[in-house]
Amino acid sequence: MRRSFLNPYVQIAIGALLVTASELLLKKGAMNGALASGWTWLGILTYLLSFASWLYVLKHLPLSVAFALINVVHVLVPLGAWSLLGEAISPRRWLGIACVLCGTVLVGKAQR
């Protein structure tokens, strides 16, 4: 279990999920008192955890690969904002999400 957790590709996925959670928590905190909100501080904590994960990834993967794969955040954040915060996504944004997702999949497959 520990070995798979330390896999840099698993760490990219964990980091992407943590960044997504961070952005959603920070948005919720900004709407509920900014620095006075517990949501904001939880968002900051998840962001710091994602930063630690990112540093681990950078130690083990080329930046060109890591950066391309972490961009899945540009898919996860809008989907999270849409599903959890009720934010709208325009058709043009959906197209952008599809493009980023396709690019991320292509980079991921090229690394096998």
Q: What is the mean pLDDT of the chain?
A: 94
CB under 8 A, 24+ apart: contacts of 18-21? 18/46, 18/47, 18/49, 18/50, 18/53, 19/46, 19/47, 19/50, 19/70, 19/73, 19/76, 19/77, 20/73, 20/76, 20/77, 20/80, 21/46, 21/80
Residue range 90-100: mean pLDDT, rounded: 95
Tell me the pLDDT tens digit for each residue of 4-58: 889 999 999 999 999 999 999 999 999 999 999 999 999 999 999 999 999 999 9
pLDDT for position 112: 61
Share of the chain above pLDDT 70, in %: 97
If pLDDT is split at 50, 70 and 90, which confidence band does 107 have? confident
